Amino acid sequence: MLNATLRELSAALAAKKLSSVELTRACLGRIERHNGELNAFITADAPQALAAAERADARRAGKGNAGEAGPLTGIPVAHKDIFCTRAMRTTCGSRMLENYVSPYDAHVVEQLERAGTVLVGKCNMDEFAMGSSTETSHFGPARNPWDKRRVTGGSSGGSAAAVAARLVPAATGTDTGGSIRQPAALSGVCGLKPTYGVVSRYGIVAFASSLDQAGPIAKSAADLALLMNVMAGFDERDSTSVERPKEDYGRFLDTELKGLRIGVPKEYFGEGVDAGVLRAVEAALRWYEAQGARRVDLQLPTSPLGVPVYYVIAPAEASSNLSRFDGVRYGHRAQGYSDLMDMYCRTRAEGFGAEVKQRILVGTYVLSHGYYDAYYLQAQKVRRLIARDFAQAFERCDVILGPTSPTTAFEIGAKASDPVQMYLNDIFTVSAPLAGVPALSIPCGFDEAGLPVGLQLTGDYFSEARLIGIAHRYQQATDWHLRVPKETPL
């Protein structure tokens, strides 16, 4: 049961072979057993989860007034602790919000609640989603279920670890520069970053507003479709939410691979990518070719500029967004200050960790008079070129294939003191959010150390259903996504 996909669980719930209470109990048992070591959850709430599971069972039985049951009714889920929830605190991985309880739910939380999912807890993450390893969390690092000495990736590392260790069948994440796809890759699960504007940002603590996008993390690509059907959709409370007709993200699950044009950028297969990663990704590419897909060699010349551009724009927006944490409105407030300015300074000095402070400093610098043109404006111009690279590539191919991350999971502490090394993890993931296009990561094998490798598929705007279909076809022929980490056996 714990290794079943959402589709299988949904069918079992519908056929009354399984109740939501049983399933939720099993998940809570796993959390109880493994979370002490994995640190995937910051908060888990068994009584609330069981009450929600009872309501879901009643709804499946046609009782109550919540309406007809849907495919996700009764499915336990966890949210990255960046989604505001009334039911549980929302810490964002920070001391600043350690005891913060939101007066409202995020749009995504509402949507999943309406669908009848069972919220079991909130997942660990890098502080304010700044990081690629979940090590900047105020609550300590999450640990990788494939090797507990290693990171889970970040910033949605707790969500990825929770799904990988089969603590919950699905979780949410957010991706600003790779934070859904990179932890999915390092933890051996599936994650999708949708087109910017497809999922509402309402109620998600803002990091870099022009990049932030929420998305699902689950075991299979087909499961991502089920979650997207609930998470996506117009919301007038997010000014950048896109108004489009509702779509079924599972409509291309039987997509034809014959004739599919797969773009293979030279830049994604060069220096700096681990041999084990290359081997697995190239094998996946050969599998698609064997199904009749056509390889289209191409170049994304601006791809190496993604990291420097991202690390100007994201901190710039973050420095502005994080100015709200001033000790007045919400969150931590320092004790024993002399005046208002002193209160601000002490509050922010105590409430934020080192990485967040560094980003605020960098962001303030690149926006400052005299440097704005040289850094921020220049980065915006190059961002435009990155989007143009993708547009040109998608004239020649239907999907771009490559590794999600240049390495597999690294040891906790290995890169923590070297920001440049840490930022280089994001080399293949930052471009999609900079351009606003969708991208997903699915498991495609293991390296020689037995650590999972992620395959990234990037598509043109609003092509997520197609990406899911292409990934699903691969998963029908492989079982990488169903392997269970050896350190958290079932």
Query: Of 20, 80, 220, 405, which residue is the catalytic one?
Result: 80
Contacts of 426 (CB under 8 A, 6+ apart): 132, 177, 178, 182, 306, 307, 310
**Are the beta carbons of 409 and 144 closer than 8 angstroms?**
yes
> Which residue of the set 10, 102, 155, 441 is catalytic?
155
For ligand GLN, what does the binding mask look like between residues 314 and 353, x meaning CB under 6 A?
x---------------------------------------
Q: Does 176 bind ligand GLN (CB under 6 A)?
A: yes
- What helix, strand, coil percent values describe the chain, rounded to 5? 40, 15, 45
Toward ligand GLN, which CB reaches closer, 206 or 453?
A: 206
- How many angstroms separate the Cα of 473 from the Cα of each of 163, 221, 394, 454? 21, 9, 21, 16
Contacts of 405 (CB under 8 A, 6+ apart): 153, 178, 182, 185, 186, 277, 425, 428, 429, 454
Q: How far is the CB of 211 from ligand GLN (least distance, A)?
A: 7
Decide whether 136 or 229 has the Cβ nearer to ligand GLN.
136
Residues of this chain, 61-120, that bind ligand GLN according to CB under 6 A = none
Q: Is 173 in the site for ligand GLN (CB under 6 A)?
A: no
- Region near ligand GLN per CB under 6 A, out of 15-23, 173-181, 237-245, 465-473: 173-181
Residues in the chain: 490
Shortest Cβ 208–ligand GLN spacing (Å)? 8
Active site residue 179: yes
SS3 440: strand
Residue nearer to ligand GLN on the CB measure, 82 or 393: 82
Residue carrying the six token digits 């699960």: 189
Query: Considering only residues 203-222, where is the footprint of ligand GLN by CB under 6 A?
Result: 207
Among 172, 169, 161, smallest CA distance to 112 is for 172
319 as an active site residue: the answer is: no
Q: Are the C-beta atoms of 39 and 140 separated by less than 8 Å?
A: yes
Please name the residues in contact with 30: beta carbons below 8 A apart, sequence gap of 6 or more: 2, 165, 166, 167, 488
Q: Which of residues 121-150 bind ligand GLN (CB under 6 A)?
A: 129-132
Sequence-distant (6+) residues with CB within 8 A of 193 are 175, 178, 180, 181, 213, 215, 432, 433, 438, 439, 440
The nearer residue to ligand GLN, 130 or 218, going by C-beta atoms, is: 130
Verify binding: residue 177, ligand GLN, rule CB under 6 A: yes
Q: Going by DSSP bridges, is the β-strand pair 439-446/190-193 parallel, antiparallel, or unpaired?
A: antiparallel
Smallest separation (angstroms) from ligand GLN to the CB of 125? 8
Give the range of 48-56, 172-180, 396-404, 407-415 binding ligand GLN by CB under 6 A.
172-180
Asked whether position 158 contacts ligand GLN by CB under 6 A, the answer is no
Q: Report the residue number, 310 or 480, with the smaller CB distance to ligand GLN.
A: 310
Q: Determine the straight-line distance between the first and last CA of the chain, rounded to whole angstroms.
A: 10
- Burial of 336 per CB tally in 10 Å (0-12, 13-18, 19+): exposed
Which letter does DSSP use for residue 479 in this model? -
Total number of residues binding ligand GLN (CB under 6 A)?
A: 13
Query: Considering the rule CB under 6 A, would residue 178 count as an interface residue with ligand GLN?
Result: yes
- In the bound state with ligand GLN, the residue whose beta carbon lies nearer, of 222 and 416, is 416
In angstroms, what is the minimal distance from the CB of 289 to ligand GLN?
Answer: 31
For the question of residue 246 being annotated catalytic, the response is: no
Residues contributing to the site for ligand GLN (CB under 6 A): 129-132, 155, 175-179, 207, 314, 426
> Catalytic residues, which ones?
80, 155, 179
